[in-house]
Amino acid sequence: MSSGGVGPSPGGGSGAGSAMGSAGVVMATGGMIMGAIGAYYGAKTMQYQLKSRAMSLDYQKEVSLLNANLAEREARSTLQAGERRIGQYTMQAGAYNASQAASLAARGIQAGVGSTAETVASAKTIQKIDTLTMNANTVRAAEAYRMQSQQFKNEALFAGVSAENMRAQARSINPWLSAATSLLGGAGSVASQWANEMRAQEYYGQRG
């Protein structure tokens, strides 16, 4: 009695190995394609993020420049206001000195002689000190605004440079190149899977 129908069919084993190998190649190919698609959209996302950051930095630059201009205007306004205060104070001091001289003359006292001379000299010294103090305070306040203005300008410069760097990075990204690189990397896996399938088919073919 023949025993050929008892053992497994060599042809059936080869077919099973071939089917399993084909499935492995298909899966590897699908993974390669999905990886390329993921690489493309990943690169695109990075581009959008960099461009968005660049736009945000551009906005910061404009705001800083606006603040710098406002601070410079405050500096000029402070100087002008200080000059007006000093002018008004000088006029008031002059009017006071004139009224004092007139009062002394009306009483028959000669100005510029004796104690009256000392009084006039002391008043002028005080007026001079007050004027210098007012001018120093005005200049100090104006310089504080100008320092703020320069800080805002520096911030604007830094934001502008950073924005340009972001745009340069975005331009350097090539989504298609990323996809192609991913495909090339995946091709190695597919080729390896295909070689394994060929070896399996050869093995089962030899057994058959």
Q: pLDDT tens digits, residue range 160-188?
A: 999 999 889 888 878 787 777 766 666 55
Question: Tell me, what's the pLDDT at 20?
Answer: 47
Determine contact, residues 83/139, Cβ cutoff 8 Å. no
Dihedral-angle region of residue 108 (phi above 0 means left; psi in -120 to 50 means alpha; beta otherwise): left
C-alpha dihedral, 56 to 60 to 66 to 67, nearest 10°: 150
196 falls in which pLDDT band (50, 70, 90)? low
For residue 78 the two structure tokens come to 């402070």
For residue 93 the two structure tokens come to 């001091």
Overall average pLDDT of the 70-93 stretch? 89
**Three-class DSSP category at 203:** helix
Q: pLDDT tens digits, residue range 51-75?
A: 899 999 999 999 999 999 999 999 9
**Residues 197, 193: Cα–Cα separation, whole Å:** 6
Question: Tell me, what's the pLDDT at 8?
Answer: 44
Determine contact, residues 18/201, Cβ cutoff 8 Å. yes
Q: pLDDT tens digits, residue range 128-156?
A: 888 899 999 999 999 999 999 999 999 99
200 falls in which pLDDT band (50, 70, 90)? low
Overall average pLDDT of the 109-125 stretch? 62
Determine contact, residues 204/21, Cβ cutoff 8 Å. no
